[in-house]
Amino acid sequence: MHKITMLGAGLIGMFYTMVLHGNRSRDHVNVIYSRSADRAKQFAADWDIPNYTTDMAAAINDPETDVVVIGLPNSMHEEAVALAAKAGKAILCTKPLGRSATEAKRMLEIVEKAGVFAGYLEDLVYTPKTLKAIKSTRNGALGKVLWARSRETHPGPHSDWFWNKEMSGGGAIIDMGCHCIEISRNFIGKEVRPMEVMCWADTQVHPIEAEDSAVGLVKYASGAIGQFEVSWTFRGGMDLRDEVSGTEGTIWLNHWLRTGMDMFTAKGEQGYVAEKAEGETGWLFPVGDEVGALGYVEMFNDMLNSLDRYSADKNSQPMETFYDGYVVNAIMDAAYRSIESKRWEPVILDDWRGSNDADSGAQMSEYDADHFLIKEEKMPDGKTKLILKEKAGGKIVQKVF
């Protein structure tokens, strides 16, 4: 079992604590830190936490805890990581790791130098659907992955600091693009190098400095494309969908608004419907197990199980590491540069630990000695049509039989 220092008493700290304490868990939060004494006190009372404080260093150095969970605004991640590494504790940091690749790389170096266990709390990679889809993809059900779209849009975040570019490091991209990019990386393969990024972004609706909408394309060495779509302007709730396609198949995931529970109510009920729901009457689409569907449960299972193994085996790593957080930041940096330059921008990775192979382009599929097969199709009249390419000369012909 683990006793945990929780840094941050906002919505994310609440979700984390709910999950860490849930399901008859043997782990427990031992101290909660918040910048506000009132919130810290209330949070401790709400969640049965023995200690609270407004002194971050004291929380981290609590002699009973062995794990520090960072659920703070982005601008405070690095300081918290440094203090926790110094204390020799396991560190689990929320997404995004940094506000830039430079900041993320410093955090990566701090934990590696200190030799402490570190996990990157990228929850949406851990939703049960995503885990199952990644496994099927790894097992070859889709063949070679060609394209992975990940979309997260809703009417805007909960807390003021998200909307403040200085504290967050950006807008919708830094808030949600990090999820989408890492989901695509998991489908395409983390060993495949991200090469370059093209991104559009704009401030379409809200009176803020940062972007409230963005669409980006990430080109990988394999020829695959990762596509991210993020927005704080979406109406209708929270749209959380992924699509992957490969040479042999397709996966569609819908995490929030269409998960098999539809409710019409003319009357409504009092209170909360679902995260970022709009409206309380009419057709609603609640999610049964919200924290499960968002990946929090499997994420902390993996983090703490990996940590348990770590004492015996220093190679034990969670599925999502600080290195992954750094790669994601590097891709987001390229996206922000592309918005300015209006062209594809290279992903700059000083420290690339994956493969350098390129493997893109069409695969020739032989039909017979003289032809490549382009396509085979069943027609409305019951016949089969083949589209073939002559090996000699490259002429395209069709056969029907």
- Within 219-258, which residues bind a second copy (CB under 8 A)? 219, 223, 225, 227, 231-237, 239, 245-255, 258
Q: Give the orientation angle of helix 178-188 with respect to helix 128-138, to 10 degrees.
A: 30
Binding positions for a second copy, 38-67, rule CB under 8 A: none
Residue with smaller CB distance to a second copy, 83 or 214: 214
Residue with smaller CB distance to a second copy, 211 or 323: 211
Residue with smaller CB distance to a second copy, 314 or 375: 375
Q: Report the alpha-carbon distance of residue 161 to residue 88 in Å, rounded.
A: 29
Binding positions for a second copy, 69-88, rule CB under 8 A: none
- The radius of gyration computed from the CA coordinates of the chain, to the nearest angstrom, equals 23
Task: Pick the binder of a second copy from 72, 217, 331, 347 (CB under 8 A).
Answer: 217
Residue with smaller CB distance to a second copy, 88 or 140: 140
Q: How far is the CB of 338 from a second copy (least distance, A)?
A: 9
Q: Give the orientation angle of helix 77-86 with respect to helix 101-114, to 10 degrees.
A: 10
Instruction: Decide: helix, strand or coil at residue 210.
Output: coil
**Token digits for 191?**
């060993």
Residue with smaller CB distance to a second copy, 1 or 348: 1
Q: How far is the CB of 45 from a second copy (least distance, A)?
A: 13
Q: Rule CB under 8 A: say whether 24 interacts with a second copy.
A: yes
**Which of 26-45 are b and which e, b meaning 16 or more Cβ less than 10 Å from the residue's Cβ?**
ebbbbbbbbeeeebbbebbe
Residues 6+ apart with CB under 8 A from 394: none
Residue closest to 179 by CA, chosen among 154, 204, 196: 154
Binding positions for a second copy, 176-205, rule CB under 8 A: 198, 200, 202-205
- The number of beta carbons lying within 10 Å of the beta carbon of residue 342 is 10
Residue with smaller CB distance to a second copy, 113 or 267: 267
Task: Pick the binder of a second copy from 261, 348, 351, 358 (CB under 8 A).
Answer: 261
**Token digits for 287?**
């999610």
Instruction: Decide: helix, strand or coil at residue 339.
Output: helix
Instruction: Decide: helix, strand or coil at residue 32.
Output: strand
Contact window for a second copy (CB under 8 A) among 53-61, 179-187, 322-330, 354-362: 354-362
Residue with smaller CB distance to a second copy, 226 or 325: 226
Counting residues that bind a second copy (by CB under 8 A) gives: 130
Residue at 36: amino acid letter: S
Contact window for a second copy (CB under 8 A) among 169-177, 321-329, 346-354, 376-384: 376-384
Say if CB 70 and CB 92 are below 8 A apart. yes
The separation between the first and the last C-alpha atoms of the chain, rounded to the nearest angstrom, is 67
Binding positions for a second copy, 262-321, rule CB under 8 A: 262-273, 275-286, 288-289, 292, 297, 300-301, 304-305
Binding positions for a second copy, 121-150, rule CB under 8 A: 127-133, 136, 139-143, 146-147
| Look-up of token digits 């993809």 | 137
**Beta bridge partner(s), residue 345:** 197
Q: How far is the CB of 3 from a second copy (least distance, A)?
A: 13
Contact window for a second copy (CB under 8 A) among 22-30, 116-124, 171-179, 183-191: 22-30
Residue closest to 389 by CA, chosen among 401, 400, 375: 375
Task: Pick the binder of a second copy from 55, 313, 350, 381 (CB under 8 A).
Answer: 381
Residue at 326: amino acid letter: Y
Residue closest to 279 by CA, chosen among 236, 240, 239: 236
Kind of pairing between the strands at 371-378 and 366-368? antiparallel
> Per-residue contact track with a second copy, 95 to 124, x per CB under 8 A?
------------------------------
Residue with smaller CB distance to a second copy, 289 or 357: 289
Residue with smaller CB distance to a second copy, 105 or 371: 371
